[in-house]
Structure 1
Amino acid sequence: MRNFEDPTHWDAAARRYEKTAHPFTQGYAEAALARVPLARESRVLDVAAGTGALALAAARTGAQVLATDFSPAMVARIAAAGLPNVDTRVMDGQALDLPDAAFDAVFSIFGVIMFPDWRRGLAEMARVTRPGGVGVVATWQARGAATFLLLGQIREKLFPEKAGATMPEGMEALSTPQRLAHELATAGYRDAQIEEVTRDFPLDLAALADPDTLFGMSPNWTSLDAAERAEVIAEVRRRASGRPVLPIASTALVAVARR
């Protein structure tokens, strides 16, 4: 089992994820929400919710939100926010323990792309979306985003003989608008509208004082030895050219489709 398929891996990373990834993915979650009008009576499902970037933002619209993830620690971070209109459940997005057509809007923000059976994940999203409701999926381009993207670029430059980290199959398969639209249609959605959303991940150079916290979720870091890691840090500083923050442009696809 690969790390990203193991809930205990995400349990261990939950607090780090909430601190580093959540503020970044929140911008894409808000971009997705801007494309889907919600009302107080809207029933919203967040699949593979992580620490709740989408779920918590959706709840602030007044909608009734159910946030699910296969990692108990991730779900616990959402529950800790204490919002009265957010329920949480530990659940496998490939086999949702939920009735058919139960939600007005079903979201997965960089979640379903990580599933071993991502096609089943998309089909499950469609199954629990009511007719006329919407499914919303955010995916990365094939090489990922933020520190994952940066580390892949640096590793390719410094250590071209080393094989880079293998991306999840779903990320590769859903990384173009044409393929994403096709797979959404196969899952049971229709009329997919897909937009590119690019945002900068602001890498604070001060965080290099604790690089394991900054990069520790990426195999492109954990597979390096101490000397190689020092080279990577030096390359990040070189790219920053004395700036305190290195912006890493990261592009996502945000798809909104009808059921």
Structure 2
Amino acid sequence: MTTTFLFSYRQPSASSSMILGSFASAYFHPPFPRLPQFIQPFSFPEMADDNKTPLDHFNAVAESYEKSTGGCTRELAERLVPLLDINNDSVVLDNACGTGIVTDVITQKFTNGKGPVIHAVDGASKMVELVDARFPDNDYVRTGVMPGEDLDFPDETFTHSVTNLGFLFFDDAKKGASEIWRTLKPGGIAVVTNWEELGYLPVLWKLQREIRPEEEPFSVPIKPEWFKPSHTEQVLRSGGFEQVDLQEMVVHWGAESLEEVSSSIVQMFGPAVFKDWSDEDKRKAMDMVPSILKDVTVSLNRNGQSCVGVTMKAIVAICKK
């Protein structure tokens, strides 16, 4: 038995840094005809009667969720963590932690039994449950259910604070910024990331132009100002930060094949884009996605594996208290 997350939507309290695509489930209708099956729906497993351990279940869920969002969040985390100079004495906040990608990237750099203390917190209890189960034997990883706007930590707790793709969904982003500033030690470093460009949007817009040109172009439920780097900077300065350095990073919504990229985009965004389309139009769209992607994807390498993907441009704000 499973508790489905991807297809049961509620207004997120920055419930995860992976929440990039989960909003699409707000519009989810019955399955599309001949829907590709490369990417399976993301579900939280309750322990079934099989030979898998709980850790096996939760690791599989995390991997499935990452694949369903093209791996772009992990790629971003892998790019930004080296900028932080985290060591064994660090105390790190993984804020709006989602499935624990940032925590996982950090812990993989410390394999000698030591490492920084990492507090992974999220407003979604199921996400925290998953993270807790992923690191059962790591005494340095602590978890908690709390929204980013109300962190239950004393002042000046952390040497480093990471909020990877969570701010776009905070109910009160300025309060979230002030909480990061409050809980950061003097001299501490905070990193906040948001999206500037979503590479899958032009693909969806071309689909609409080809099949339903009369429709308004699909837009994500993110306020337009969040796509401007200056807005991220303004919010962080309003929270108390005086030193805010903005960078951009290019990552990818990708997979090992063009077909898998097509499938993940259809699974994630088709429910919103195609929600009022006929079955015939849905079939046309699914057949057309790979040919559209062929013109916009780039080759990339992930852990020695050749992949393809569409580019995603991230805003990376590095703040010092």
Determine whether 1:5 maps to 2:12: yes
Q: Tell me the equivalent position of 1:73.
A: 126
Alignment of 1:120-135 (within 5 A): 120-135=175-190
Alignment of 1:193-204 (within 5 A): 193-203=245-255, 204=257
Give SS of 2:219's match.
coil
Residues 241 and 255 of structure 1: CA distance in aligned 2, closer, same or farther (over 3 Å)? closer
Deviations 1:136-181 (A, max 9, x none): 001101x535x46643553366434334234222xx3332232222
Q: CA shift at 1:13, angstroms?
A: 5.4
Task: Name the aligned partner's letter for residue 233 of structure 2.
Answer: A
Which whole-Å CA distance do the structure 2 matches of 1:201 and 1:193 have between them?
Answer: 25
Residues 180 and 150 of structure 1: CA distance in aligned 2, closer, same or farther (over 3 Å)? same
Q: Tell me the equivalent position of 1:249.
A: 311
Determine whether 1:53 maps to 2:101: yes
Stretches of structure 1 lacking an aligned partner (at least 5 in a row): none
Contact 1:216 1:222 in 2 (8 A): no
Moved more, 19-28 or 117-126: 19-28
Which whole-Å CA distance do the structure 1 matches of 2:192 and 2:309 have between them?
Answer: 25
* Higher fraction of helix: 1
Contact 1:208 1:233 in 2 (8 A): no
Alignment of 1:1-259 (within 5 A): 3-5=10-12, 15=61, 16-21=64-69, 23-61=71-109, 62-82=115-135, 83-141=138-196, 144-145=198-199, 147=200, 150-152=203-205, 154-155=207-208, 158-163=211-216, 164-169=218-223, 172-203=224-255, 204-207=257-260, 211=263, 214-218=265-269, 220-221=272-273, 223-225=275-277, 226-241=279-294, 247-259=309-321
Contact 1:47 1:107 in 2 (8 A): yes
What RMSD in Å do the two structures reach over aligned CA positions?
3.1
| Percent of paired sites with the same residue | 22
Give SS of 1:237's match.
helix
Deviations 1:105-135 (A, max 9, x none): 1111001211222222222211211121111
Contact 1:56 1:86 in 2 (8 A): no
Residues 240 and 216 of structure 1: CA distance in aligned 2, closer, same or farther (over 3 Å)? closer
Which whole-Å CA distance do the structure 2 matches of 1:208 and 1:251 have between them?
Answer: 17
TM-score by length of 2: 0.68
Which whole-Å CA distance do the structure 2 matches of 1:257 and 1:124 have between them?
Answer: 13
> Which fold has the larger relative contact order, with Cα–Cα distance below 8 Å and residues 6 or more apart in sequence?
2
Q: CA shift at 1:24, angstroms?
A: 2.5
Contact 2:69 2:268 in 1 (8 A): no
Task: Name the aligned partner's letter for residue 253 of structure 1.
Answer: I
Larger radius of gyration: 2
Aligned pairs, how many?
251
Moved more, 183-192 or 76-85: 76-85
Give SS of 1:232's match.
helix
Which whole-Å CA distance do the structure 1 matches of 2:285 and 2:190 have between them?
Answer: 39
Contact 1:240 1:246 in 2 (8 A): no
Deviations 1:179-210 (A, max 9, x none): 2222211111122111111123224344389x
